[in-house]
Amino acid sequence: MKDGYLKVEQSPALAGEVELVGAKNAVLVIIASLVVTAGKSVLHNVPLSADVFEMIELLRHLGAVIFFNTEKHELLVDTTTLHSWQVSSVLMQKTRASILIMGGLLARFGKARVGLPGGDAIGKRPIDYHLKNFAKMGVVIHHEADYLCADVERLVAARIVLEYPSVGATENIIMAATRAQGATKIINAACEPEVLDLIACLTKMGAKITVEAPATITVEGVDVLNPIEHTIMFDRLEAGSLLIAAAATGGEVFIPDADAGVLDVFLLKLEEMGHTITIGENGKGIHLKSTQTPRAVSLKTGPYPGFPTDLQPPMMALQCFASGTSVIEETVFENRFHHVHELIKMGASIHIEHNKAIITGVERLYGTHVVAPDIRASTALVIAGLVAHGTTTVSGLSHWKRGYEALEKKLQHLGANVVVHEAQNEKIMVFDMVRQAHHERD
Ligand code: EPU
């Protein structure tokens, strides 16, 4: 098999306590944001997921000197020697998050020449909100073959109205605006916790940023931004996935690191299913005790604080064997139902009407071979495999690894029968990444 796969067997009720890593979607943009500074920064709680290694590669390519202490999850990034504002198509294609380098490059150099970004095939995923709002800040952009070339003499502040609160566009505009002349206002901005972690980080650098209700972010440009030390927020999506896995198997789990305040609607839906959620003091720490008779619930994904689209696929897997009918409406991405066909192969009863999936709970799912086409679909299929009769093989291991740092080990720790089978070339890739990280320390 070209890609590796996960082999999942029906598992007992998951039980125990489990730790989280830092949030992939916070760390990617925070690493990219370091290009606005010139100096040595330190990030803590950095997850060892494949997308993080790609972002590190991208910054190295621009001239940053980076040491990743993978044992301590500590990343040292020296941007003093940054000398380039160009990123090849090959590097840009590795992730979607690569586009987040543009805002920082414009702030640092007033220039960016980058290929078009890659990423999961969960929709068209255009970047028009990024580009047209850079243009409002005085940036001149043109296409040269597969490259985007952006130039600006001096970034100017603008009043930016986003027609949709795009996470990536909000982050890119904020980064560019840190060095613009005047105060940039972003109306209908994304206020995901990962965006707020970026803001916390930029504020430490010396940026002047305020967030006001309902969703306005104001960034006053400054002349200099300094290197920082920052601890990445815990991954709410990893927390959600572990809670769903425990609920699916009728188990009981405690996640001390989890912040309940960033998962409210998701936790509400688990409670409506009949699961008991207990939250620790100050909202820190989530305990889930499953019901043995889960009820189907309906939900609609939306920008934060709505139900997170990234938890929609695993939550759908959970509805497949709940009692009753669930309607899941996906409003963020137009094509995030690739897991549906695979769940049907496992015996689920699902039909799609436009952007809605209608799921009728069945008695049981059956293990078979399924394909994970994106990160969160891989989570859904592994979770379905934990309850399915027989063996489930989930190919598309590279997606699983892009999103998570060894999530299979955490599931194993809770009692799950899930094993990773590496493709030969992936073994080499991971070995190379870790060896390189250690080599640079020596
Ligand atoms: N959109 C546009 N034009 C744009 C930008 C976005 O039409 O210029 C549309 C998108 O096509 C999509 C919607 O707006 O339909 C939302 O996209 P958004 O820009 O908010 O998403 P993103 O920044 O590309 C980040 C996460 C995703 C997460 C979404 C939504 C990162 C690296 N990625 O993507 O994470 O699903 O926000 O919360 O932060 C994942 O982790 O598996 C993942 C896909």
| Contact between 15 and 386 (Cβ < 8 Å) | no
Q: What is the pLDDT of residues 149-160, one digit of tens each?
A: 999 999 999 999
Indicate whether residue 310 lines ligand 1 (CB < 6 A).
yes
SS (H, E, C) the chain: CCCCEEEEECCCCCEEECCCCECHHHHHHHHHHHHHCCCEEEEECCCCCHHHHHHHHHHHHHCCEEEEECCCCEEEEECCCCCCCEECHHHHHCCCHHHHHHHHHHHHHCEEEEECCCCCCCCCCCCHHHHHHHHHCCCEEEEECCEEEEECCCCECCEEECCCCCHHHHHHHHHHHCCCECEEEEECCCCCHHHHHHHHHHHHHCCEEEEECCCEEEEECCCCCCCCEEECCECHHHHHHHHHHHHHCCCEEEEEEEEHHHCHHHHHHHHHCCCEEEECHHHEEEEEECCCCCECCCEEECCCCCECHHHHHHHHHHHCCCECEEEEECCCCCCCCHHHHHHHHCCCEEEEECCEEEEECCCCCECCEEECCCHHHHHHHHHHHHHCECEEEEECHHHHHHHCCCHHHHHHHCCCEEEEECCHHHHHHHHHHHHHHHHHHC
Pick from 90, 113, 142: which is nearest to 101 by CA? 113
Ligand 1 binding pocket includes 25 (Cβ within 6 Å): yes
Task: Give the mean pLDDT of 112-122.
Answer: 77
- Apex CA 34: angle with CA 180 and CA 218, to 5°? 35
Nearest protein Cα to ligand 1, atom 26: 25
pLDDT reading at 236 higher than 80? yes
Contacts of residue 61, defined as CB under 8 A and 6 or more positions apart, other chains included, come to 84, 87, 88, 91
Atom from ligand 1 closest to the CA of residue 309: 36
Contact 114, 185 (CB under 8 A): no
Q: Give nearest CA residue, ligand 1 atom 20.
A: 166
Average pLDDT (200-206) is 98
Q: 9 CA to middle of ligand 1, Å?
A: 33
Residue-wise pLDDT tens digits, 27-72: 999 999 999 999 999 999 999 999 999 999 999 999 999 999 999 9
Contact between 407 and 48 (Cβ < 8 Å):
no
Four-residue CA torsion sign, 273, 299, 314, 18: negative
Which residue from 31, 167, 334 has its CB within 8 A of the most atoms of ligand 1, so it is best to mutate? 167
The stretch 290-313 carries a mean pLDDT of 98
How far, in Å, from the CA of 303 to the mean position of ligand 1? 10
User: What are the CA-CA distances from residue 271 to residues 84, 136, 243, 313 (Å)?
Assistant: 50, 45, 12, 18
Place of tokens 């499953």: 290
Position 211: which residue type? V
What CA–CA distance (Å, rounded) separates 72 from 44? 8
Average pLDDT over residues 245-257: 98
Does any ligand 1 atom lie closer than 6 A to the CB of residue 333?
A: yes
Strands 252-259, 284-289: pairing is antiparallel
Among residues 368, 367, 377, 344, the alpha carbon closest in space to that of 10 is found at 367
Nearest CA residue ID for atom 28, ligand 1: 310
Question: What pairs with residue 150 in β-bridges?
Answer: 112, 141
Q: What are 25's two structure tokens? A: 């979607």
Mean pLDDT computed over every residue of the chain: 94
* pLDDT level of residue 428 (50, 70, 90 thresholds): very low
pLDDT at residue 95 in the model: 87
Which residue's CA is the closest to the ligand 1 atom numbered 6? 166
| pLDDT at 437 > cutoff 80 | no
pLDDT band at 435 (very low <50, low <70, confident <90, very high): very low
Reference 40, options 227, 224, 202; nearest CA is 227
- Ligand 1 pocket mutation pick from 101, 125, 315 by most atoms within 8 angstroms of CB: 125
Residue 424 CA to residue 40 CA, distance in Å, equals 36
Q: For residue 28, give Cα distances in angstroms to 33, 197, 208.
A: 9, 11, 21
Instruction: Label residue 119 by pLDDT band (50, 70, 90).
Output: low
389-427 pLDDT, tens per residue?
Answer: 999 999 999 999 999 999 999 999 999 999 999 987 654
Q: How far is the CA of 171 from the centre of ligand 1 (A)?
A: 11
Q: Parallel, antiparallel, or unpaired: how do β-strands 208-212 and 216-220 relate?
A: antiparallel
- Beta bridge partners, 359, equal 326, 350
Q: What is the pLDDT of residue 423?
A: 85
Q: Letter for the amino acid at 213?
A: A
Distance 180 CA to ligand 1 centre (A): 24
Taking the alpha carbons at both ends of the chain, their separation in whole angstroms is 36
> What are the angstrom distances between the C-alpha of 422 and each of 32, 394, 401?
29, 12, 11
For residues 89-104, average pLDDT: 92
d(CA 58, CA 180): 24
Say which residues have a Cβ less than 8 Å from residue 213's Cβ, sequence separation at least 6. Answer: none
pLDDT above 80: residue 16 = yes
pLDDT tops 70 at residue 99: yes
Q: Range with the lowest mean pLDDT among 361-370, 390-399, 428-437?
A: 428-437
Tens digit of each residue's pLDDT (9 = 90 or more) over 331-352: 999 889 999 999 999 999 999 9
Give the pLDDT band (50/70/90) at residue 438: very low
Radius of gyration of the chain (CA): 22
The predicted-structure confidence for 263-275, as pLDDT tens digits, reads as follows: 999 999 999 999 9
In percent, the amount of the chain with pLDDT more than 90 equals 90
